[in-house]
C-alpha cells in the first residue's frame, strides 16, 4: 500500500449526505467528473449551490470517495433505496473515512479511545493535539500552519457530527453519540472485504472495523451471531477463523440485505 498522508481535503465537504444522494441519483456508469458536474448543473437539483462549489464537491469529495473504483459507485447507488437513513449514513461514513486518512486515524486513535475511557465529550483541542502529533510524525507532505491545523480540526469534528458520531452542535465541545453499526452494514463490509481477495482471518482483522469501534474479538463474535441468519457459516478455533461464504458476489449480498 502506498504511504498515506494527512490532507486538508475535508475542507471541500464534510458529510454531504444529501448532496451525495443527489449526485448518485444523477450519476450513470462511465461518467467522469466533468460530465457529472454538467448533468448536476443542468438538473436544477442543487439550486442553492454555486457552479464552482458543485464542481468542488464532485471533484474533491464525490470522486475520491466513490468513483475511483466504479464498482463502489454501482454498489452504493444500488443501496440508496435499500438502506435506512441511518444505515446509508454509515455507508457514506465508511467510504469518506477510507478516502480521508486523517479522519479514519482520528476515529481510531482518539474518538473510540476517548469513548472507551469513559469520556462523555470531545473538543477541538483533542483534534488539534492529534494533528500536531501527526505533524511531528511526518504525516503531512509539508508543514501546516496553526490556522490550517485549527481549521482541519473543526472539519474532523463537523464530519463526525454529520455522520451521527458527535452531537450536531457548533459548540467547541461536542457530546459523543456513537452509533451502533447496523447488521446490514456488518454483512456488507464483511463480504466486500472477502470479495476484495482477503482471507477469512484478514477479513476479521481488517482495520475498517475499527471505524465502528469494533476490535478483532468483537468482529468475530458479531459474525458468529449473524451466522444464525445464514449469511455464512463460521468456525473459530483460538485465533484461527474459517468462514464458508453463502453468496457469490456483492449483487447477491445487496439483494439479501434489501
Residues 17 and 70 both lie in one domain = yes
User: Do 165 and 230 share a domain, yes or no?
Assistant: no
Q: What is the mean pLDDT of residues 186-214?
A: 97
Number of Cβ atoms within 10 Å of the Cβ of 101: 17
238 confidence band (pLDDT: 50, 70, 90): confident
Distance between CA atoms of residues 51 and 40, nearest Å: 9
Residue 168 pLDDT more than 80?
no
Q: What is the percentage of the chain residues whose pLDDT exceeds 70? A: 98
108 pLDDT above the threshold of 90: yes
Q: What is the mean pLDDT of residues 46-61?
A: 92
pLDDT for residue 170 is more than 70: no
Mean pLDDT across the stretch 137-164? Answer: 95
**Mean pLDDT confidence for 229-241:** 90
Average the pLDDT over 65-86 and give the result: 94
How many Å apart are CA 144 and CA 150, to the nearest integer?
A: 10
Could you count the other beta carbons within 10 Å of the beta carbon of residue 240? 10
Task: Assess contact for 56 and 12: CB atoms under 8 A.
Answer: yes
> How many domains are contained in the chain?
3
Q: Residue 186: which of 214, 217, 228 has the closest Cα?
A: 214
Say whether both 141 and 200 belong to one domain. no
% of the chain surpassing 90 pLDDT: 90
User: Can you give the pLDDT at residue 173?
Assistant: 83
Give the mean model confidence (pLDDT) for residues 39-68.
93
Q: pLDDT value at position 1?
A: 58
Same domain, yes or no, for 155 and 210?
no
Binned at pLDDT 50, 70 and 90, residue 237 comes out as confident
Domain boundary among 175, 201, 218: 175
Q: What is the rounded average pLDDT for all residues in the chain?
A: 94
pTM of the model: 0.94
Q: With 80 as the cut, is the pLDDT of residue 212 above it?
A: yes
Q: Which of 146-160, 209-223, 234-248 has the lowest mean pLDDT?
A: 234-248
- Is there a domain that residue 42 lies in? yes
Q: Could you count the other beta carbons within 10 Å of the beta carbon of residue 82?
A: 14
In a domain, residue 92? The reply is: no
Residues 130 and 187 both lie in one domain? no
Residue 98 to residue 91: CA distance in whole angstroms = 11
Q: Say yes or no: 168 and 234 in one domain.
A: no
| 153 in any annotated domain | yes
| Rounded distance between C-alpha atoms, residue 45 and residue 183, angstroms | 32
User: What gap in Å lies between CA 108 and CA 152, rounded to an integer?
Assistant: 17
Distance from C-alpha of 101 to C-alpha of 96, rounded to nearest angstrom: 9
134 inside domain: yes
88 lies in a domain? no
Whether residue 169 sits in one domain with residue 142:
yes
User: Would you give the end-to-end CA distance of the chain in angstroms?
Assistant: 33
Q: Are residues 137 and 163 in the same domain?
A: yes
Q: What is the pLDDT of residue 75?
A: 95
Say if 93 falls within a structural domain: no
Query: Rounded to whole angstroms, how far apart are CA atoms 16 and 42?
Result: 20
C-alpha cell at 25: 441519483
- Assess whether 166 and 111 both reside in one domain: yes
Question: Of 110, 121, 119, nearest to 172 (Cα)?
Answer: 121
Last residue of a domain, one of 175, 198, 233: 175
258 burial via Cβ count (<10 Å: 0-12, 13-18, 19+): exposed
What is the domain extent for residue 188? 183-257
**Backbone Cα Rg of the chain:** 19
Mean pLDDT, residues 76-100: 96
Amino acid at each position: 500500500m502506498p504511504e498515506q498522508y494527512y490532507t486538508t481535503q475535508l475542507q471541500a465537504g464534510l458529510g454531504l449526505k444529501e448532496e451525495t444522494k443527489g449526485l448518485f441519483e444523477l450519476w450513470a456508469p462511465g461518467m467522469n467528473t466533468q460530465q457529472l458536474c454538467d448533468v448536476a448543473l443542468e438538473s436544477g437539483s442543487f439550486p442553492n449551490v454555486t457552479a464552482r462549489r458543485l464542481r468542488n464537491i464532485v471533484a474533491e469529495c464525490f470522486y475520491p470517495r466513490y468513483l475511483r473504483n466504479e464498482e463502489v459507485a454501482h454498489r452504493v447507488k444500488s443501496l440508496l433505496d435499500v438502506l435506512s437513513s441511518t444505515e446509508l449514513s454509515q455507508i457514506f461514513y465508511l467510504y469518506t473515512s477510507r478516502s480521508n486518512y486523517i479522519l479514519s486515524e482520528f476515529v481510531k486513535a482518539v474518538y473510540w479511545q476517548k469513548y472507551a475511557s469513559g469520556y462523555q465529550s470531545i473538543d477541538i483541542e483533542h483534534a488539534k493535539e492529534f494533528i500536531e502529533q501527526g505533524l511531528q510524525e511526518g504525516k503531512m507532505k509539508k508543514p501546516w500552519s496553526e490556522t490550517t491545523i485549527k481549521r482541519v480540526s473543526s472539519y474532523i469534528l463537523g464530519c463526525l457530527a454529520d455522520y451521527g458520531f458527535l452531537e450536531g452542535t457548533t459548540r467547541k465541545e461536542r457530546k459523543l453519540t456513537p452509533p451502533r453499526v447496523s447488521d446490514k452494514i456488518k454483512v456488507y463490509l464483511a463480504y466486500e472485504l472477502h470479495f476484495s481477495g482477503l482471507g477469512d482471518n484478514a477479513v476479521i482483522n481488517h482495520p475498517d472495523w475499527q471505524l465502528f469501534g469494533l476490535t478483532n474479538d468483537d468482529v468475530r463474535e458479531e459474525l458468529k451471531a449473524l451466522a444464525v441468519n445464514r449469511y455464512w457459516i463460521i468456525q473459530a478455533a483460538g485465533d484461527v477463523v474459517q468462514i464458508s461464504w453463502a453468496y457469490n458476489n456483492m449483487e447477491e449480498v445487496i439483494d439479501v440485505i434489501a
